A and B are shown apart, each in its own frame.
Chain A
């Protein structure tokens, strides 16, 4: 009995789901055999390279696109057997495509979240109004009700659409790249907002995103979509541990450092620069040189020798010596020297 009460409530699951699209009569399957599960209060990030079918999956789970085969179940009910209004009361999808309407106020957008609850002309009841003002408050846009959508920043717009989804009171939220076009602070804000919703009000969120590092830090579970069909669903730490990310996203210039847990560029330090005798250079400067492709060593026969004193950086090539340089200036000279050698 007690054990049963600890079992998480299943919100959504799929059975041998294939997703894809039909274009001019020819089928194109992006992913197949998917058996996915989402539970109450889950915050799951869907990641994967471009074109592997993230948006298609979100749209298919939201019932906006037909599956190629297999079924989606919402709380044990087949998605396809649900009517339009029942479906949108259970599951709400927030799409990427930037809406092309400007003369619409924040509140008018959020009001649409109550669409299936209102009467034929759309009059709001007391509870409707509470849902609307609460969800506007929850995304932190109180006081913005009468602002036109066109006057908002991209981050604020995104939050308006999250508020619209919240207003519908659907327990399941699917968001297709809500952090696209946002700057870093807005990205953090939108994703933490969604995570907090899953913690405080028990919403189940599935978010597709390209922000790997944020997803790895915030998600309860990561769904990593592989380009050659297949999905890995496990905790962020397991994803990091097992080098999946390097496999999927890594290439000639980029690799995933599973020790530090983030991506790094593969260095190409071919050119050596000699450290001037009896000097030491700070750690950060070593990284600067490394990024530019220079390796600092003690050996002679290098491109140039470098040192630093109270007045600034010093570069000498044997023939000439330049003093009182800033780090940037020193780097520019080194790059010029490298060009000459080439």
Chain B
């Protein structure tokens, strides 16, 4: 009992136990995030000395090349990783709680594929309908079509999830939706002009660096909207942990919450997929890592924890994908898969029975 008292540092006003370890973890994760962010700025194919970088950032440098690389390429890219990482992690967290399925995530359940479908239709129909997509294809039309595609697939997944309870079956359905959209996209490609197909294929490779300041601001607006909606879902999501019917008995309007989650996830996953291409695994594993290191399922702790872990993961993957010092760049999706796939296998082995959700 004495030991317990030492361990529990403070019981907050809301009755949620915040342990000393939680504060320590938040602090160290923030520190790690800062380190990764700086590393992401400083490392890259072009070597910029640290001293010079500081000069550029403080605004007194005359090396215009380095200044351009740092301010117009690396900084938006690192900020993009920040937003995208936390957005993916929150989308994954919400989906895992909604479906009470440890393997749910925007990529696995086909939400990203839905967004791809939206983008494909948008990009390639520009050939059919004759409207011109400018040099930067990243604009509102693209985001909105990606979000619409995400909403469509999410609605289908919710519809199927209400029929089947088995979490593995739901995943298979998600994969099927993914294949279906891929098939539709390939048919679209067949009928499209080669230059449009080329644009689309480049997009599917996924990259954090295709975003400049203008697009970054647009995307930030969308993702922040999604995140603000999600903050209001923290309390109902805690009630969802005990199952939908229990949540309803607790006084949750489950239908409304379900659609708010749909809205939040679709707008987050849709907009970030529109600009970065489909990014796998981050949304799936960040909530797991957060749950594991914080040892809780309480969304008031998990929410900020997921944003931190998601961002750290994506920044880490981005640093690796740039292969510091070499003039090559690997696709970000390959790196997230290299890290993510083993983690997923480890989750499945650790669960043995897929019955308990978290």
Closest B residue by C-beta to A111? B15
> How far in angstroms is the closest Cβ of chain A from B352?
13
Q: Is B241 touching A104 in the complex (CB atoms < 8 A)?
A: yes
In the assembled complex, which residues on chain B have CB atoms less than 8 Å from the CB atom of A121?
14, 231, 234-235, 300
Closest B residue by C-beta to A97? B243
In the assembled complex, which residues on chain A have CB atoms less than 8 Å from the CB atom of B4?
146
Q: Is A120 touching B232 in the complex (CB atoms < 8 A)?
A: yes
Q: Is B13 touching A103 in the complex (CB atoms < 8 A)?
A: no
Apart from A84-B252, A85-B251: 4 A-B pairs, beta carbons within 8 A = A92-B249, A105-B296, A113-B250, A118-B235
B357 adjacent to chain A (CB < 8 Å)? yes
Q: Is A123 touching B238 in the complex (CB atoms < 8 A)?
A: no
A108 adjacent to chain B (CB < 8 Å)? yes
Closest A residue by C-beta to B302? A103
Q: Is A129 touching B250 in the complex (CB atoms < 8 A)?
A: no
Q: Is A101 touching B358 in the complex (CB atoms < 8 A)?
A: yes
Q: Is B242 touching A101 in the complex (CB atoms < 8 A)?
A: yes
A87 adjacent to chain B (CB < 8 Å)? yes
Q: Is A123 touching B13 in the complex (CB atoms < 8 A)?
A: yes
In the assembled complex, which residues on chain B have CB atoms less than 8 Å from the CB atom of A104?
241, 296-298
In the assembled complex, which residues on chain B have CB atoms less than 8 Å from the CB atom of A99?
241-243, 246
**Cβ contacts B1-23/A at 8 Å (1 or 0 each):** 10010001000011111000000
A52 adjacent to chain B (CB < 8 Å)? no
Q: Which of A89, A95, A105 sits near B246, CB closer than 8 Å?
A: A95
Sampled A-B contacts (26; CB under 8 Å):
A64-B245, A64-B248, A64-B249, A84-B251, A84-B253, A88-B251, A89-B251, A93-B249, A97-B243, A97-B245, A100-B356, A101-B356, A101-B357, A103-B291, A103-B296, A104-B298, A105-B296, A107-B15, A111-B16, A112-B238, A115-B235, A115-B252, A122-B300, A123-B13, A124-B13, A168-B251
Q: Is A87 touching B298 in the complex (CB atoms < 8 A)?
A: no
Task: Count contacts on A: residues with CB < 8 A to the other chain.
Answer: 42
CA separation between A57 and B105, bound complex, in Å?
A: 36
- Of all A-B residue pairs in the complex, the 4 with the closest CB atoms, nearest first, are A88-B251, A116-B251, A93-B249, A122-B235
CA separation between A107 and B252, bound complex, in Å?
A: 19
B295 adjacent to chain A (CB < 8 Å)? yes
Question: Which residues of A pack against B, CB within 8 Å?
Answer: 59, 62, 64, 84-85, 87-89, 92-95, 97, 99-105, 107-109, 111-113, 115-116, 118, 120-124, 128-129, 132, 143, 145-146, 164, 168
B79 adjacent to chain A (CB < 8 Å)? no
Q: Is A120 touching B235 in the complex (CB atoms < 8 A)?
A: yes
> How far in angstroms is the closest Cβ of chain B from A3?
37
B355 adjacent to chain A (CB < 8 Å)? yes
> How far in angstroms is the closest Cβ of chain B from A57?
15
> How far in angstroms is the closest Cβ of chain A from B356?
5
Question: Which residues of B pack against A, CB within 8 Å?
Answer: 1, 4, 8, 13-17, 100, 231-232, 234-235, 238-239, 241-243, 245-246, 248-253, 291, 295-298, 300, 355-358
Q: Is B100 touching A100 in the complex (CB atoms < 8 A)?
A: yes
Closest A residue by C-beta to B244? A64
CA separation between A88 and B296, bound complex, in Å?
A: 26
In the assembled complex, which residues on chain B have CB atoms less than 8 Å from the CB atom of A89?
251
CA separation between A115 and B15, bound complex, in Å?
A: 13
In the assembled complex, which residues on chain A have CB atoms less than 8 Å from the CB atom of B251?
84-85, 87-89, 115-116, 168
CA separation between A301 and B16, bound complex, in Å?
A: 77
In the assembled complex, which residues on chain B have CB atoms less than 8 Å from the CB atom of A107?
15, 17
CA separation between A97 and B244, bound complex, in Å?
A: 11
Q: Is A124 touching B15 in the complex (CB atoms < 8 A)?
A: yes
Closest B residue by C-beta to A118? B235
> How far in angstroms is the closest Cβ of chain B from A172?
12
Closest B residue by C-beta to A62? B249
Which of A64, A128, A168: most chain B Cβ within 10 A?
Answer: A64
> How far in angstroms is the closest Cβ of chain B from A323?
54
> How far in angstroms is the closest Cβ of chain A from B292?
9
With A107-B15, A108-B238 as contacts: A100 and B243 at CB distance below 8 Å: yes
Q: Is A100 touching B355 in the complex (CB atoms < 8 A)?
A: yes
In the assembled complex, which residues on chain B have CB atoms less than 8 Å from the CB atom of A146?
4, 8, 17
CA separation between A115 and B17, bound complex, in Å?
A: 17
CA separation between A16 and B248, bound complex, in Å?
A: 25
Which of A112, A116, A121: most chain B Cβ within 10 A?
Answer: A112
In the assembled complex, which residues on chain B have CB atoms less than 8 Å from the CB atom of A129?
15
Q: Is A103 touching B248 in the complex (CB atoms < 8 A)?
A: no
Closest A residue by C-beta to B19? A146
Q: Is A108 touching B235 in the complex (CB atoms < 8 A)?
A: no
Q: Which of A59, A88, A100, A111 sits near B357, CB closer than 8 Å?
A: A100
In the assembled complex, which residues on chain A have CB atoms less than 8 Å from the CB atom of B250?
88, 112-113, 115-116, 164, 168
> How far in angstroms is the closest Cβ of chain A from B297?
5
> How far in angstroms is the closest Cβ of chain B from A139?
17
CA separation between A104 and B232, bound complex, in Å?
A: 20
CA separation between A129 and B241, bound complex, in Å?
A: 21
> How far in angstroms is the closest Cβ of chain A from B342?
22
CA separation between A103 and B17, bound complex, in Å?
A: 13
Closest A residue by C-beta to B167? A100
CA separation between A101 and B252, bound complex, in Å?
A: 18
Q: Is A115 touching B239 in the complex (CB atoms < 8 A)?
A: yes
Closest A residue by C-beta to B296? A103
CA separation between A94 and B249, bound complex, in Å?
A: 8
Closest A residue by C-beta to B256? A84
CA separation between A104 and B238, bound complex, in Å?
A: 10
CA separation between A146 and B3, bound complex, in Å?
A: 13
In the assembled complex, which residues on chain B have CB atoms less than 8 Å from the CB atom of A124?
13-15
Closest B residue by C-beta to A133? B15
CA separation between A97 and B356, bound complex, in Å?
A: 12
CA separation between A116 and B8, bound complex, in Å?
A: 27
> How far in angstroms is the closest Cβ of chain B from A272?
52
